[in-house]
Structure 1
Amino acid sequence: MDLHKGLSLPALALNVSGAVLMLAGIGLMATTASRLQNYRVAANLHGGEVIDLGEDARPAAGQHGAMARVVAVPHVVEAPQDPDFNLRANTSVLVRHVEMFQWREIKVGDSVHYELDWVDHLLDAGHFVDRKGHANPVGFPVSGKQFDAGLVQVGGFKLGPILLHGMPGTSRLTPDITALPDNLAASFTRYQNYLVTSAKPGDPRLGDVRVSWDEVPLQQMTFVGRIDGDRLVAATDAADGKGYVVQLGNVPVLDIFPDLPVPPEFVWTWRLLSVVLASLGAFALIAAKRGRGDPQLAAGLGAAAVGAVASVLWLHADTTVMGGWLAFVLAGLALVTWRLYRLR
């Protein structure tokens, strides 16, 4: 018993419980910081932490520069138009495909044969093995092109060009023959979902041209991108080299990025609890030394202890968070100084 000579059993219990509570508070804060930092490191591979704004979200103050998840059916404000064919569509991207009926050379082993088929690029018959009777036209009368919508919105956000082009899915558009300019209306007729120059659309001849258009269907999609004012754009500094995601349907963040750990919940609750535990520990240690506790002095010591360790842990991870914890330390030390002054 000489080891504890002069130290009563209640004082010893207060010292032990105080130390345990202080360590528990610091440990809880360190665990919370570690989980949050691990999540941020994984999230930074894709551009940063993702704010889940949900369906049909609108821009709000304080969001600039953050990654966000928005779910919406895209709304085309300024529709794309093919000026040559006077064709407009309610879609994000309109693509014109042009094909010509040409000779194709097909080689199978030592055998060579030729057939007429629709091809979207010019085939040079000058390189054919048998050029006689298999000459192709020397050029296309019209070329394929892509036309982007002038403005597409998801919720209250305008889509940047990369996300605009990332929208999945295509469907064939049925052209309106009545909208054709007079010069093209004399050359083209509609056959199925094509405009063709064939006199007999079901029996095309060499040099006939057919034109078709693809559009992106407007349906519910999930967009992840960086907020730039009222725009949603790709994060060009993302470590994954992409910085955006567009998927069909309402897709949760963890399904979009399966490599992400589960984001820590109730971070501020755990932080507050860590300060409370450390403060209770300080209260017990003060009570063991002075015979009675001091709530204000204990709160200052608890805040200073937890804040000091947190500042060190966030020093190289996030200077903003580190600065916040450092301010918390100074507030705790100010409370301790004020209380000691009053006690004196």
Structure 2
Amino acid sequence: MNLRKGLSLHGLLLNIAGALLVLAGIGLVAMTARGLLNYRAAASRHGGEMIDLDANAQPQAGQHGYMARIVGTPNVVEAPHDPEFNLQVNTPVLVRHVEMFQWREIRIGDSVHYELDWVDRPLDSSHFEDPRGHANPVSFPISGKQFDAGLVQLGGFKLGPVMLHALPGSEQIAPDPKSLPENLAASFTLYQDYLVTSAHPGDPRLGDLRVSWDEVPLQQLTIVGRISGDRIVAAAEAADGKGYYVQLGDVPLLDMFPDLPVPPEFVLIRQILAVLLAALGALLLLVAQRDQRDVLLALGLGAMVVGAVASMLWLGGDTRMLCGWLTVTLLGLGIAIWRLRRGSIRPKQS
């Protein structure tokens, strides 16, 4: 009598432990899937799922379409060139500024007065309240322009035009008057990092020109953009209306996108562990119900149960993940049928 009670209690404990382990496997795979789905839903607002790449990363198969975070200093492979002034600078973007010494109309309350100043666009003096004696030249003989580098790379990836123009910072550079073409060398002289046409640079006159250049400095950046072949470009269809981010320094992904939940780590290990937990639970249930220790049958049942739950969670989500879990489910089902047909379950012997 006591022996039967002991065996009955042992079977009950095995059933409870087995059921808990199966539920633990299902719960683990469900938590992992839910964490990934929540992360991907939030990431899709910024262009899609994101991967971290180091500064020496090279384009790899399977990366196309992903958003990537890369930290490093851009490398200018083909520097921009200002052909009119024969100026070439090792920078991603070179900007030429042209100013003319012109009359400006200044209004303070009801009073109007005029002063000469450097202005980067033609001022139409015909609209002045008192144009007499304050006539400005009609146009600039030379205009301001922006010159982009032919090729800028971060790691093994080329930066697309949008990313190039998003690079932060601006520093004025001093031009070299010795490199000027002959026609401009006769007109311009160097004065305080500017090229000026003034006969007396410290005392400019109406119509004098002042030309300067700004460069985007090379510095450590964190760039997030979409991988398109060997290029990093903006994700034009991103719900946030931007699809890329550029910040100075090494900025963590969650600092750039505070709305992103923390994605689950060790996803593959967690998924394998979920199947093994369910399989161990199934094995305990087999021992309790039929006194059978068929490990393969238990593994098939565990894979089938966990795979079926995961497949339902990934319906309408990641097609690759869905197909993977359907494959696991079918493999588990196949193993279970095979073992059952081999007569692996036998009635308990009394």
1:71 and 2:71 aligned:
yes
Aligned partner of 2:273: which letter? L
Worse overlay, 89-98 or 67-76: 67-76
Corresponding residue SS for 1:133: coil
1:39 and 2:39 aligned:
yes
Question: Shift in Å at residue 55 of structure 1?
Answer: 2.1
In structure 2, how many angstroms separate the alpha carbons of the residues matched to 1:72 and 1:56? 8
In structure 1, how many angstroms separate the alpha carbons of the residues matched to 2:250 and 2:54? 9
Alignment coverage as a number of residue pairs? 340
In structure 2, how many angstroms separate the alpha carbons of the residues matched to 1:109 and 1:228? 56
Question: Shift in Å at residue 66 of structure 1?
Answer: 1.5
Q: Structure 1 unaligned segments of length 5 or more: list them.
A: none
Aligned partner of 1:293: which letter? R
Q: Structure 2 unaligned segments of length 5 or more: list them.
A: 345-350
Match of 2:12 in 1: 12
Question: Shift in Å at residue 133 of structure 1?
Answer: 0.9
Match of 2:205 in 1: 205
1:323 and 2:323 aligned:
yes
Corresponding residue SS for 1:312: helix
Match of 1:127 in 2: 127
Q: Is the 8 A contact 1:56 1:71 kept in 2?
A: no
Report % sequence identity: 68
Q: Is the 8 A contact 1:56 1:70 kept in 2?
A: no
Question: Shift in Å at residue 37 of structure 1?
Answer: 0.8
Corresponding residue SS for 1:126: helix
Question: Shift in Å at residue 278 of structure 1?
Answer: 1.0
Match of 2:98 in 1: 98
Question: Shift in Å at residue 237 of structure 1?
Answer: 2.1
Match of 1:312 in 2: 312
Question: Shift in Å at residue 56 of structure 1?
Answer: 2.3
Matches within 5 A, 1:1-344: 8-343=8-343
In structure 2, how many angstroms separate the alpha carbons of the residues matched to 1:297 and 1:253? 44
In structure 1, how many angstroms separate the alpha carbons of the residues matched to 2:210 and 2:274? 71
Listed one character per residue, the Cα deviations across residues 198-253 of structure 1 (whole Å, up to 9, x for unaligned) are: 11101111111101111011112122111122111111222212111222222221
In structure 2, how many angstroms separate the alpha carbons of the residues matched to 1:328 and 1:30? 15
Question: Shift in Å at residue 292 of structure 1?
Answer: 2.9
In structure 2, how many angstroms separate the alpha carbons of the residues matched to 1:158 and 1:22? 49
In structure 2, how many angstroms separate the alpha carbons of the residues matched to 1:40 and 1:172? 42
TM-score by length of 2: 0.94
In structure 1, how many angstroms separate the alpha carbons of the residues matched to 2:333 and 2:252? 43
TM-score by length of 1: 0.95
Listed one character per residue, the Cα deviations across residues 110-165 of structure 1 (whole Å, up to 9, x for unaligned) are: 11111111111111111111111111111111111111111111111111111111
Question: Shift in Å at residue 84 of structure 1?
Answer: 0.8
Question: Shift in Å at residue 308 of structure 1?
Answer: 0.2
Question: Shift in Å at residue 8 of structure 1?
Answer: 2.1
Listed one character per residue, the Cα deviations across residues 246-265 of structure 1 (whole Å, up to 9, x for unaligned) are: 22222221222222111211
Question: Shift in Å at residue 270 of structure 1?
Answer: 1.5
Aligned partner of 1:60: which letter? Q
Match of 2:348 in 1: none
Worse overlay, 304-313 or 52-61: 52-61
In structure 1, how many angstroms separate the alpha carbons of the residues matched to 2:43 and 2:148? 31
Question: Shift in Å at residue 93 of structure 1?
Answer: 0.6
In structure 2, how many angstroms separate the alpha carbons of the residues matched to 1:110 and 1:229? 61
Q: CA RMSD in A?
A: 1.6
Corresponding residue SS for 2:35: helix
In structure 2, how many angstroms separate the alpha carbons of the residues matched to 1:8 and 1:159? 70
Listed one character per residue, the Cα deviations across residues 173-213 of structure 1 (whole Å, up to 9, x for unaligned) are: 10110111111111111111111111110111111110111
